[in-house]
Amino acid sequence: MKTVFLSKIQYVKTILTEQQIALIVKRLAQQILENHLELKDTVIIGLQPRGVFVSDRLVKELRSLLTSNHVQYGKLDITFYRDDVRKELHVANKTDIPFSIENKNVILIDDVLYTGRTTRAALDALLDFGRPAKVELCVLIDRRFSREFPIQSDYTGKSIDTFISQKVKVYWKERDGREVVELI
């Protein structure tokens, strides 16, 4: 008797193209400025590693829209705040927050909001840097109906409905050579 293993067929659906990503980043920047005019007492923090690709673009767009060009921007690594860090070896990224977040409005930036575990870990990590006045969440993709924690985004690029078996992959030119969001 011979056993034959068939490879899984992967269906790939494009959720966002490069042009759509660029438009969404512009829209998100404008929405942030609607609520935080001139970004007074507001700081932007990208979550390492994947949220930084979104936050880099968002900060660039914010700087182009502001006359003062004053955007406080930091990057936060949450590796050791994750609740799954015990299951496998994780490589830490760099945290770079060169300003105080004490009594500031903090906008956390990430690429995909799924279970809420990353955001929960980010909130824990953030408290090591001070006590912000308010924390908001901005994401490129919101995978609705998948939460394990009561977390929602304040600024959302695109909301999608997915099955647990599906994955959302965000590809960036700097890392992957192409810029697209796909559902696999």
Q: In this model, does residue 175 exceed pLDDT 50?
A: yes
Identify which of 16, 50, 23 has the alpha carbon closest to the alpha carbon of residue 31: 23
Q: pLDDT tens, 109-146?
A: 999 999 999 999 999 999 999 999 999 999 999 999 88
Q: pLDDT tens, 147-163?
A: 999 999 999 999 999 98
Q: Which domains does the chain have, with CATH numbers?
A: 13-183 (3.40.50.2020)
Residue 45: strand, helix, or coil: strand
- In angstroms, the CA 28 to CA 58 distance is 8
Q: Which amino acid is at 41?
A: D
Q: Are 149 and 119 in contact (CB under 8 A)?
A: yes
DSSP of 112-148 = EESSSHHHHHHHHHHGGG---SEEEEEEEEEEET--S
Q: In this model, does residue 85 exceed pLDDT 90?
A: no
